Amino acid sequence: MQYDVQHIKNVVLLGHTGSGKTTLAEVMLFEAGAITRRGSVEERNTVSDYTDIEHERGSSVFTTLMHLEWRGYKINLLDTPGYDDFCGEIITALRVADTGILVLNAASGVEVGTELIWRYTEQFSTPMIITINKLDHENANFERTVAQARERFGRAVTIVQYPLDVGPGFSAIVDVLKMTLYQFPPQGGKPQKLPIPDTERERAERLHNELIEAIAENDETLMDRYFESGSLDEDDMRTGLKQAMTRRQLFPVFCTSAKLNMGSGRILGFIDNVAPSANELPTPMTDTSGTPIPCDPAGPTVLFVFKAISEPNVGDMSFFKVYSGTLRPGTTLINAQTGTAETLGHIYIVDGKKRTEVSELVAGDLGAVVKLKNTHVNNTLREKSSDLVVPPIEFPKPKIRVAVEPVNKGDEEKVGNALHQLHEEDPTLIVEHSQELKQTILYAQGELHLAVAKWRLQNRYKVDVRFVEPRIPYRETIQRPARAQYRHKKQTGGAGQFAEVHMLIEPWSDGMPLPNGLTVRAVEEYELPWGGKLVFLNCIVGGVIDARFMPAIVKGIMEKMSAAPLSGSPARDIRVAVYDGKMHPVDSNEAAFKTAGMMAFKEAFLQADPKLLEPIYTVTITVPDEYMGDVMSDLPARRAVILGMDSDGHYQKIYARMPLAELDRYSTALRSITQGRAVYTAEFAEYQPVPPHVQQKLVQEYQAQLHGEEV
């Protein structure tokens, strides 16, 4: 069946792990007739959570796309993971969804993952529905959960339904929008619509009036109508609800027990009647230049690739949203990022691991194509005549890193290819092949994220790896001036080698004066590949060293700076003045002066009070009020310097500077201290000297390593 843009709804299911998102998706599919039998997470047979790692863990790891048809509407469902470690999956789903359903566990209330996810919905301005699930649980508490939601998300949280009874006897829901009681049979499914009992009439009418007031206060026309008549009819309420919800001025609260199949049909009806289609959002998607992209099936075809997967039972696929136009099989589009042409052969709608070929997809719809050769996540595919580019998704920066080593020698290339594929599917996993550290570094969002990556490397790509502690990219510099000279003299059977170099080295800083007592002939500044500068002064007078040998001296200095004498780390921010020396008319050559320059620099460096530097990061920690003291008292133990604090709603922000050596372990520690309720971001700030005891330890380790290599 073909759907126009008005009848396509893209809905993302969000919530802390264990809140019941996957079970709710399953019951929605069942109620709509998309599946004939409900699966369960425990039996590992749900449409969502179909991968081996999800079966093993018993929870969602990836976002799964599904669809159903309900009363003439097509609803695309995106079931997301609940842990913030998989925030990349959550963010991609939010980017292409038009409405979110936040699933709260009635027994647990607003949990850690829920708060973190809510922040992402604010970033995307996603219209939200809240459903309080698991009302059949023996510890379910509807009132407490609503109170927590209002405390965390604001007074826009508005009750549309409340349960008649909670706990194992749950079977009835009072709907204060329709002023109806839904009574469910023991096996769930379609409820009876009954009058609200007299015992509940007062509460229902009070909540009905609160709902009307919440709707009316966000619309002047409805407010006038409400003052005139004292009420609003159902059509007015529906119109007002849609406007308020779309602008995030109202978050309607519904009731469900997904496990018992109670309440999902009403939510599906609400999605049809009230939730916005892609063309009804108040702020349409704009391209990278700020030009609106109209959600128009008659416009130029523009697709945005938001996800890629590679699974044994599914194959390589790219998932996309049609932002404009109508896509048909065989269409050739241009990749806006690479300029290459891609022909989309078969196009599919997807339900978990099942895919169904379709003849077209219109603006606002979601689909998939067998993975495109030259197109990746965040790429725009467009008609040749179009210049629209959908802005890329901005993923959070990684919070943790490890070094990856193959268990078996010779597997380096296999491991590298597998890591590259992991990044293709999950851009929040970042791979760096560090020449400096001589390690392959994998950056991730947390310990769980790394654990899943390791599982996939071993089970999906069949490479055994170990995760080891990553090295720190230390730097070396000097703290005072020093002079040294070195004569390189070597006589072999034929021509010999001779060069003598005298140099002054100093700590470099911007704007420093030229050295006293030396005549500077030329100044050369080199931006070093590892950061910082080398400033080279040619102070030779009288031609004691020919100018043609100066580049060789610089080359020798640079080579020694790339692995400085103290710890083998690169050196930075040094000024070198070559002011004297000797050469031989026959035996002097570039190789001799390179060696002399290198050795003179080494000797001077060791006399210049060398210092080891470590990378320092500016860290912003967002923490709930109640954990503020614990986090603050923990920071000094991590050699962190607190810069300041700020308030952010129910949260506090702590600004600090922390060495990378401590930051590598901070993600796990912060989660433990705050029960997972705090998050942080980190940005490289500068290099600072390491404490003396740390320097002594690192230098000793380096010297032992050199000694071991010599033996």
**What band does 283 get if pLDDT is binned at 50, 70 and 90?**
confident
Say if residues 286 and 302 touch (Cβ distance below 8 Å): no
Which DSSP state fits 552?
A: H
Q: In this predicted structure, what is the pLDDT of residue 515? A: 94
Predicted local confidence at residue 458, as pLDDT: 95
Q: What is the DSSP secondary structure assignment for residue 571, as one 8-state letter?
A: B
For 140, the token pair is 């379910």
Q: What is the DSSP letter of 56?
A: H
Q: What share of the chain is helix, strand, coil (3-state, %, to 5)?
A: 30, 30, 40
Tell me which residue of 672, 643, 673 sits closest to 658, measured CA to CA. 643
**CATH architecture type of domain 616-693:** 2-Layer Sandwich (3.30)
- pLDDT, residue 710, reads 43
Who contacts 542 (Cβ-Cβ below 8 Å, separation ≥6)?
Answer: none
pLDDT of residue 493: 64
- What DSSP assignment string belongs to 148-166? HHHHHH-TTEEESEEESS-
State the amino acid at position 211 in one-letter form.
L
pTM of the model: 0.89
Is residue 711 over pLDDT 50? no
Same fold, 5-280 and 302-382: no
Burial class (CB in 10 A: 0-12, 13-18, 19+), 289: exposed
Q: What is the mean pLDDT of residues 687-705?
A: 91
Average pLDDT of the chain, as a whole number: 92
Percentage of residues in the chain with pLDDT exceeding 90? 81
Contact 346, 331 (CB under 8 A): no
Is 400-468 a domain of CATH 3.30.70.870? yes
Q: How far apart are CA 323 and CA 363, in angstroms?
A: 5
- What integer pLDDT is reported at residue 675 of this predicted model? 84
Residues 6+ apart with CB under 8 A from 437: 403, 470, 471, 473
Does the pLDDT value for residue 267 go beyond 50? yes
Give residue 642's pLDDT: 96
Write out the E strands in 491-609: 497-507, 522-527, 533-538, 574-582
Residue with tokens 């619309």: 219
What DSSP designation does 422 have?
A: H
**AA letter at 317:** M
pLDDT at 30 over 60: yes
- Tell how far CA 270 is from the center of its chain: 31
CA–CA dist 423, 104 (Å, integer): 31
Instruction: Tell whether the model's pLDDT for residue 425 goes beyond 70.
Output: yes
- Note whether 432 and 444 are within 8 A (CB): no
Domain ranges for the chain? 5-280, 302-382, 400-468, 476-608, 616-693
What tens digit of pLDDT does each residue of 202-223 get? 999 999 989 988 888 877 776 7
Q: Which CATH architecture has domain 476-608?
A: 2-Layer Sandwich (3.30)
Give the full edge-to-edge strand order of the sheet including 180-183.
161-163, 172-175, 180-183, 192-194
Three-state secondary-structure class, residue 490: strand
As its CATH architecture, domain 5-280 has: 3-Layer(aba) Sandwich (3.40)
CB 404 within 8 A of CB 467: yes
Residue showing tokens 């995106």: 78
pLDDT digits (tens, 9 = 90+) for 493-516: 667 899 999 999 999 999 999 999
Mean local confidence (pLDDT), 544-556: 96
Among 188, 96, 105, 178, smallest CA distance to 140 is for: 105
- Quote the pLDDT of residue 490: 86
The fold of the 302-382 domain, in CATH, is Elongation Factor Tu (Ef-tu); domain 3 (2.40.30)
**Contact partners, residue 513, CB within 8 Å, separation at least 6:** none
- Distance between CA 422 and CA 325 in Å, rounded? 31
> Tell me: the pLDDT tens digits for 648-693?
777 899 999 999 999 988 988 998 999 888 888 899 999 999 999 9
Question: How far apart are alpha carbons 474 and 511 in whole angstroms?
Answer: 25
Query: Residue 438, by phi and psi: left (phi above 0), alpha (psi -120 to 50) or beta?
Result: left
Q: Give dist(CA 554, CA 538) in Å, integer.
A: 10
Please write the tens of the pLDDT for every residue from 437-490: 999 999 999 899 999 999 999 999 999 999 999 999 999 999 999 999 999 998
Q: Work out the angle at residue 327's Cα, subtended by the Cα atoms of residues 323 and 329, and round it to the nearest 5 degrees.
A: 150
Q: Give, in degrees to the nearest 5, the angle at Cα 14 between 353 and 48.
A: 15
CB-count burial class (<10 Å; 0-12, 13-18, 19+) for 396: middle
Spatial separation of the C-alpha atoms in residues 177 and 397, rounded to whole Å? 42
Overall average pLDDT of the 323-352 stretch: 95
pLDDT tens, residue by residue, 93-136: 999 999 999 999 999 999 877 988 999 999 999 999 999 999 99
| Region 228-233 average pLDDT | 68
pLDDT at 670 (0 to 100)? 93
Between β-strands 315-324 and 302-311, what pairing exists: parallel, antiparallel or unpaired? antiparallel
